[in-house]
Amino acid sequence: MALAKESPPASSKNAADAEAAYRAHTRLWLRLLACTSLIEGELRRRFREEYDFTMPRFDVLAQLDREPSGLVLGELPKRLMVSAGNLTPIVDRLVEDGYITRTPSNLDRRVQIICMTVEGRKTFRRMAKSHGAWLAELLAEFPANRLDGLVGALDDVKGAVRNALQHREQT
Amino acid sequence: MALAKESPPASSKNAADAEAAYRAHTRLWLRLLACTSLIEGELRRRFREEYDFTMPRFDVLAQLDREPSGLVLGELPKRLMVSAGNLTPIVDRLVEDGYITRTPSNLDRRVQIICMTVEGRKTFRRMAKSHGAWLAELLAEFPANRLDGLVGALDDVKGAVRNALQHREQT
DNA sequence: AGGAAATAGTTTAGGCATAAAATAACTGGA
DNA sequence: TCCAGTTATTTTATGCCTAAACTATTTCCT
């Protein structure tokens, strides 16, 4: 199969087919984006109103919650799929606010270990419970027996995109 | 069914069920977010590298593309689901760069009509073609015969969330 | 040992996002 | 008319996000 890279093959009767495929993929993308921004906007709003908190801060705490012994700072950008530079001020503020600690490793002075404080864990658990309830409320109308199927399809999308990216990276 | 709002019912054997439901919904949300940010990140990267352009700018042009007679500025925040204040500088720059025009209405001097220029339309069409091809490339591995089903499921998710939000708004 | 390359993290510059307040123009009624 | 309320848009303050350049440390090679 030829790899379409920039434009649909203009040479043949398949141009129309290619356009149609583009549209189908674009439609999927637009739906993904619409669902995500709808939900994200509402979650953001509630985090702010109810806890005066932001989602990126919550995401950092969520990663730390399952790591009793803390986490190397460098793990965060990978897990949260954000850039490292972005995290610096977010982690700074979480430290200032007493939710996490940042300790330089004494094996390698470049490395920092971050760890949730007792207070941070308590706050996080409270917010996580709301977070789950908010999602359940927002998605309540979507039939529960279709959840797993949808999650599976999204896993496949994720896998497909990851593979496509990896492929390209080797170029 | 009782409306779970803040926390799962602590009173009964159903607490575990509620927790399980939260997890299912949370799982769906995390997949949505993962797919969207994976694709969005790659699209953003390519827009920047290939066209020195950003997605929000592209999104504005996309709305204008189907409106030969232009669009009232106030329509954009609604259609793009972003705040009005956000659009001001984006529109400013698109005008500066010659992709669109901004004309005050003479029926109501508060209102502005924005309209794509010929140059803007040409540039947009070129980028839109790439955009479609990028998506087709990224999603190539996902079976084409499952696209429609997934789009339908996402439409249902979107509808469910919209209804939940409307419901809440009336409160 | 000593210097090049790699790695962890921060800083900088620029753009996107929101909420809330401000400005300007219109509308409708006393 | 005038003035209170509404609507369209911009401004301000704050935070997230990236890419690219930078600092500090470690590692690896000769």
**What pLDDT score was predicted for residue A19?**
75
Which residue has better confidence, B60 or A170?
B60
CA B27 to chain centre: 21
Q: Which domains does chain A have, with CATH numbers?
A: 26-140 (1.10.10.10)
Q: Give, in order, the Cα–Cα distances in Å from A49 to each of A96, B7, B29.
A: 21, 17, 20
CA B18 to chain centre: 31
pLDDT tens profile B124-142: 999 999 999 999 999 999 9
Chain B CB contacts of A27 under 8 Å are 147, 151
DSSP B104: E
**What pLDDT score was predicted for residue A167?**
78
Q: Which residue's CA lies closest to nucleotide C14 at its C1' atom?
A: B54
User: Which residue in A6, A8, A161 is closest to B39 by CB distance?
Assistant: A161
Beta strands across the sheet bearing A100-104 = A71-72, A112-116, A100-104
Would you tell me which residues 137-166 of chain A have a C-beta closer than 8 angstroms to some C-beta of chain B? 137-144, 146-151, 153-165
- Write out the two tokens for A138: 């927002």
Counting Cα atoms < 13 Å in the Cβ hemisphere of B21 gives: 23
Question: To the nearest whole number, what is the mean pLDDT of chain A?
Answer: 91
pTM of the model: 0.90
pLDDT tens profile A63-121: 999 999 999 999 999 999 999 999 999 999 999 999 999 999 999 999 999 999 999 99
Strands, DSSP E only, in chain A? 71-72, 100-104, 112-116
Q: Which residue has the tokens 């109308």?
A: A141
At B170, the pLDDT band (50, 70, 90 cuts) reads low
Q: Which of B62, B58, B85 is nearest to B74 (CA)?
A: B85
Q: Which of B136, B31, B58, B21 is nearest to A36 (CA)?
A: B31
Kindly write down the DSSP assignment for every residue of A95-120, as one continuous string.
Answer: HHTTSEEEEE-SS-TT-EEEEE-HHH
